[in-house]
């Protein structure tokens, strides 16, 4: 008779058993549901009654070790009994190991090192029935991830990644999980960890895991910090660009409003040849109000003759900018439009470039290559 395990739910008490063969279990409960009660089924192989009873059979085969022919020594000191054909079917690495393994009576001897005995046991159980204990997954998920990678059991690897990604990663373990994900080629998991580290850098960099990584893998630490700096720069650049865009958009709107004031008139000001209507419809140009005040100030400022105040200078700039965008100075009603055009012709190359860049940027914010008032020629 093959070696048997003491109890159907004895998954957690094998570490102390050492090399002694366990006692026979009590008769297995019937029907199948009682055994799987404690056991949480994995997402795989979950398919109705026949599948469930087949899984149960696989579990029993593992638990009772009927005609087992492999002894797996774990470095924790325990032994897990298994069947060569099942190990060989489930893992190409075990298949290879068994070709070279020593024999001890009818048993082939294998060793699985570096992880706790119960993790090895949970791992071998999975090879039988694609099932695992919930507690095993919670306690040994990182060990199971490594085992599934080393022994090439992709189903289990996916399950470990699944559980880690959905709630098992925290600030304390994220650095360890990240390193394991890199070692185990678990790219999705690595990405999730990386994102978690970047988003919680302050907290994560204060953990023991981070300190340990700094010692063992300084290059990795350096890369993460560099990436963080790069992310931060990109974020700042995005904010700067969006602010800049907003300014150009405001300038564009001011230019539209200026043409509208000088052509149609708005509220209190307008062209001298146009009569004011009391029932003026509400103005649709957002920039009109501010510009209206500026135009009124410009018309009456006492300092204008001496070069003007800060508001006057602003108005000059607005007028010059208009002139540079204006497509039709011949019929344009904006004051000084043509004067500026004449002056522009005599301007030096450096100033010319400065204005060209500005007008291009303003027009581009509208992405229409010149709005209803302005010339697309400015973009050339
Ligand atoms: Zn208006
Ligand atoms: Zn002024
Ligand atoms: Zn004009």
Q: What are residue 313's phi and psi, to 5 degrees?
A: -60, -35
- Ligand 3 centre to CA of 333 (Å) is 6
Give the ligand with the smallest distance to the CA of 259: 3
- Ligand 2 centre to CA of 250 (Å) is 22
- Ligand 1 centre to CA of 260 (Å) is 6
What's the confidence (pLDDT) of residue 87?
93
What's the confidence (pLDDT) of residue 176?
94
- Ligand 1 centre to CA of 290 (Å) is 10
| Counts of helices then strands in the chain (DSSP H, E) | 16, 6
What's the confidence (pLDDT) of residue 119?
93
Give the ligand with the smallest distance to the CA of 329: 3
- Ligand 3 centre to CA of 214 (Å) is 64
- Ligand 1 centre to CA of 83 (Å) is 87
Total-model pTM: 0.59
What's the confidence (pLDDT) of residue 374?
54
Give the ligand with the smallest distance to the CA of 319: 3
Give the ligand with the smallest distance to the CA of 335: 3
What's the confidence (pLDDT) of residue 121?
92
DSSP 50-63: HHHHHHHHHHHHHH
User: Which residue positions in the chain have pLDDT lower than 50?
Assistant: 1-38, 40-48, 368-372, 375-380
Query: Each residue of 119-176: pLDDT tens digit?
Result: 999 999 999 888 888 888 999 999 999 999 999 999 999 999 999 999 899 999 999 9
**What residues are paired with 72 via a beta bridge?**
80, 110
Distance CA 52, CA 37 (A): 12
What's the confidence (pLDDT) of residue 275?
63
Distance CA 278, CA 258 (A): 21
- Ligand 1 centre to CA of 284 (Å) is 6
Give the C-alpha distances (Å, rounded to integers) separating 264 from 234, 260, 274, 292.
44, 6, 8, 13
- Ligand 3 centre to CA of 182 (Å) is 63
Torsion of CA 95, 39, 79, 83, to 10 degrees: -30
Query: Each residue of 259-296: pLDDT tens digit?
Result: 888 888 887 777 766 666 666 677 888 888 888 888 88
- Ligand 1 centre to CA of 269 (Å) is 9
Which residue from 55, 108, 102, 103 is spatially nearest to 83, judged by alpha carbons? 108
What's the confidence (pLDDT) of residue 230?
93
- Ligand 3 centre to CA of 280 (Å) is 24
Contact yes or no for 67/2 (Cβ under 8 A): yes
């Amino acid at each position: 008779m093959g070696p048997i395990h003491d109890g159907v739910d004895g998954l957690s008490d094998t570490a102390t058993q050492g090399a002694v063969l366990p006692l026979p279990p009590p008769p297995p409960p019937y029907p199948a549901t009682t055994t799987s009660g404690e056991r949480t089924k994995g997402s795989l192989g979950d398919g109705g009654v026949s599948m469930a009873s087949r899984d149960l059979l696989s579990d029993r085969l593992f638990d009772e070790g009927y005609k087992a022919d492999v002894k797996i020594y774990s470095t924790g000191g325990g032994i897990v009994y298994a069947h060569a054909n099942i190990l060989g079917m489930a893992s190409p690495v075990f298949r290879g190991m068994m070709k070279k393994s020593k024999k001890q009576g009818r048993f082939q001897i294998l060793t699985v090192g570096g992880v706790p005995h119960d993790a090895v046991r949970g791992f071998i159980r999975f090879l039988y029935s694609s099932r695992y204990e919930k507690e095993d997954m919670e306690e040994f998920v990182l060990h199971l991830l490594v085992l599934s990678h080393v022994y090439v059991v992709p189903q289990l690897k996916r399950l470990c990644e699944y559980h880690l990604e959905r709630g098992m990663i925290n600030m304390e373990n994220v650095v360890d999980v990240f390193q394991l994900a890199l070692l185990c080629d678990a790219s999705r998991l690595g990405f999730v960890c990386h994102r978690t580290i970047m988003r919680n850098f302050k907290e994560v960099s204060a953990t023991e895991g981070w300190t340990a990584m700094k010692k063992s893998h300084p290059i990795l630490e350096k890369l993460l910090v560099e990436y963080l700096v790069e992310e931060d720069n990109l974020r700042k650049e995005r904010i700067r660009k969006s602010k800049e865009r907003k300014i150009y958009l405001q300038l564009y709107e001011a230019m539209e409003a200026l043409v509208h004031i000088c052509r149609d008139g708005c509220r209190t000001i307008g062209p001298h040849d146009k009569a004011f209507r009391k029932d003026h419809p509400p103005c649709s140009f957002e920039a009109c109000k501010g510009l209206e005040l500026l135009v009124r100030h410009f018309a009456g400022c006492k300092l204008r003759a001496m070069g003007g105040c800060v508001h006057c200078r602003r108005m000059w700039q607005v007028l010059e900018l208009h002139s540079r965008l204006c497509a039709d100075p011949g019929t344009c009603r904006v004051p000084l439009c043509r004067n500026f055009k004449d002056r522009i012709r005599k301007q030096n190359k450096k100033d010319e470039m400065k204005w060209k860049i500005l007008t291009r940027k303003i027009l581009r914010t509208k992405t229409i290559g010149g709005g209803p008032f302005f010339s697309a020629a400015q973009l050339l």
